[in-house]
Structures are given as C-alpha cells and as structure tokens.
Amino acid sequence: MRITDVTTFILGARDARSVSASDGHLLVKVETDDGLTGWGEAFTAPAIIQMIIEAGYARERRSGLKALLVGEDPLDTDALWHRMAEGTLMLGRDGVAMHAMAAIDLALWDIKGKAAGQPVHALLGGARRDRVACYATHTLGDTLDETVGHAKALVERGFRAVKFGWLPKGNGADEDEAVVRALRQAVGPDIKLLIDCGMYWDVDTALERTRRFAPYDIYWFEESLRAYDVQGYARLRRESDLKITAGEMAATAGELGRLVDADAVDVLQIELTQTGLTPAMAIAAAANKRGIAIVNHHYVLDVNLAASLHFLAAVDAIDLCETPGNQNPVRDAIARNPPRPDADGMIAVPTAPGLGIDIDEAAVRRFAVGD
C-alpha cells in the first residue's frame, strides 16, 4: 500500500458566537492506492499548518510534508514520523511544524487500523477500559450570571464534571474567588469542578489562588503558569494541596518529559493534535511510571476526540476525558457518528476499525473556506 495524496481542508463556521470560529479548523485527509483513507486534524493556525503540509519539496530538511509522504507505506507510522521530523528539521521543532506532523500522524493511524480491521486501541496494546469518564469544558461568560447559566446547563445535560476558565477573569483575588464560589454553588456539591487558569499567573499568585479556591472542593487546578515554567509548576505542586494539571500547550515529548521529570504535575495533559499519537504512548508510559495520570486535551473536532478515546483506553493510568461543552456547528456537522457522553457522564471508546469516526465529506466541503 502506498500514499497517493494528502489533502487539507480549512473549515470555518462564520459565526461570531461559536467558539473557535475565528480560528478555524484544519482537517487532513490521507489517501492510498488501496482505497483506504485516514483523517486527522490540527488544533492551531490552520493556514500555517496547511502551508507546511502542502509547501512542496524545497531542500533537505526543509520540505513540505505531503512531498515527503506521497509514495510511502502508510502503515509504517514510526518510520514516517521520523521521516517527517527529519524533513522539516529546519522549520522548528516545538511549534506548528510538529502540529502539522501530528495531524498527519492521526490520519496514518486511522489507515493503519482500517487496514488491520481493528480499532486503533487494539494496535496500541489493547483497551484497558471500554468507557471513560468525561468532563465538559466551557469558557467563562461575560458576566457572573452568564457563567452560572452555562454551568447549570452543563449539569442539566448530564455532565458529572465541568471545567471553566480562560478569559474574562476578575480583577483580583476577591473577584476570582467570587467566580469559583458561584460555580460551586451553581453545580452543587456532587459535581467535580475543574478550574482552568489559562497561563494567567506567576507561581506566587497561583499559590495564593490555590489557598483561596481550596474551600470550594476544586478537583484540579490547570495551567496556572506559563507553559515553559517547569520549576514553577514543580514548586506549585509541592506547596499546594490542589491537584496540579498542565501540558496542553506542549508539542513535543521533550517538553512534556520535562514536566514529568520534575514531578511538576499530578495529571499530564496530552493534546494529540499537537504531539501526534506515535510519540504519545511513550510519553504516557513515562508519566505513569512517576505516578502521574494522563488526560487528553480536546476542544475542537471529533477526529481528535476519537483518537483521544483510543489513547485513553490503552494508557495504564488516566484521569478524565475532556469534551467541549460549547456549541460548534462545524464539529456537530462533519462526523456522522460522533462520540458523545451518555447519561452517566461516560463516553464509549470507538470499536470500529481505525479511529472509528465516519467523516461526512459533503459537510467538510460545505464548511471549507479559502478555496
């Protein structure tokens, strides 16, 4: 089997009220001469990702990814990962080049599973669980009342765990505590409440917030520091009683490994559309050996969610599975069989071959922009 084409689609909803609509989404489709296709997605900067994939061959170590892949065996995911890494070496190792590689890597695993007639988790060593407990992520509202309304709506939809954060935040500690207090009152005592700090504070401020938030039974305290502040996270974990979570901004095993080696987090977030699935299992195994659980990061389309479910099914020690709590017309349209939480707040791991996600290509083309 050989790769015959790699196609990218930038998708947009043109709806100012839809989270991520202004950012857009990128899907990548990998086709083979056997008629099998695989789908992947990228989380950030879709136009830049598209250029990295479609740029063509320039010279050694400065190539577009499609030029490196056409004619190659799609089933040899390890070899193709290294081929992409070597071919894009001069494009930079920690940012969007890695994200482009990750999108293609997900599509290659989709093909690999379909060729084997097995779900991807079977190729990762087998499923340790067939359902995963999930939480819903939602941004804060423009007002406290709006935030409370979002929280109550998520609980009414059946979620047993919810996460709020990013902007807007309050103007100081009292205002931030008021937001957390209101959220706890809105969801009640039995719902897990997760707080995403959006890389907003330095370590001293973050520690002060952990003390302020502790009475509200916070399930975890996420991304309070800048992404590369490994020692700050290590101190935060040592000195705080809250569960510390970070990693979603990382694109490489090296960066995630620094968080692990420093014992800087209780739960390591892995965003597969930035890291790729090929390195993710080794990253997770290293974290688990240090007593660090794994959670996916997911706020975009259902290709990533499906891949994350296979990944979480195969990893030894996990925490929760992230799912978006917002409405998104692109997400809701492009998959015919999207994974969704059940009434118990659990999501079933896909069992169909590959990633197990059936993409509606007519919907993809309907939302495609820039053609």
Cα distances (Å, whole numbers) of residue 229 to 14, 196, 234, 337, 361: 36, 16, 9, 39, 41
Write down the pLDDT at residue 20: 44
β-bridge pairing 192-196 and 218-222: parallel
Q: What is the pLDDT of residues 206-247, one digit of tens each?
A: 999 999 999 999 999 999 999 889 999 999 999 999 999 999
Per-residue pLDDT reduced to its tens digit, 68-106 = 999 999 999 999 999 999 999 888 777 899 999 999 999
> Domain ranges in the chain?
3-118+360-367, 123-348
pLDDT computed for residue 122 by the predictor: 98
Tens of pLDDT, residue by residue over 191-201, are 999 999 999 89
Region of 327 please: left (phi>0), alpha (psi -120 to 50) or beta: beta
What pLDDT is stored for residue 91 in this prediction? 82
3-state secondary structure of 327: coil
128 exposure class (CB count in 10 Å sphere: 0-12, 13-18, 19+): middle
Mean pLDDT to the nearest integer, 30-40: 98
DSSP H helices in 240-328: 253-261, 272-275, 277-289, 302-314
Q: How far apart, in Å, are the Cα atoms of 240 and each of 212, 248, 259?
A: 11, 20, 16
CB 141 within 8 A of CB 324: no
Contact 280, 311 (CB under 8 A): yes
Q: Which amino acid is at 336?
A: R
At the topology level of CATH, where does 3-118+360-367 sit?
Enolase-like; domain 1 (3.30.390)
Say if CB 77 and CB 105 are below 8 A apart: yes
Compute the Cα dihedral for 157, 43, 261, 231 and give only its sign.
negative
The angle formed by the CA atoms of residues 171, 175 and 177, to the nearest 5 degrees, is: 135
Q: What was the pLDDT predicted at 22?
A: 41
Residue 218, H or E segment: strand 218-222
Q: Please, which residues have CB within 8 angstroms of residue 329's CB and are 6 or more apart in sequence?
A: 13, 15, 18, 367
Lowest-pLDDT range, 15-29, 32-46, 124-138, 353-367?
A: 15-29
Residue 257 has pLDDT above 60, yes or no: yes
148 confidence band (pLDDT: 50, 70, 90): very high
| Mean pLDDT score across all residues of the chain | 93
Third-level CATH fold of 123-348: TIM Barrel (3.20.20)
pTM of the model as a whole: 0.95
User: What percentage of residues in the chain have a pLDDT greater than 90?
Assistant: 84
Query: What's the rounded Cα separation, in Å, for the pair 41 and 362?
Result: 17
Structural contact between residues 141 and 67, judged by C-beta atoms closer than 8 angstroms: no
pLDDT confidence band for 53 (50 / 70 / 90): very high
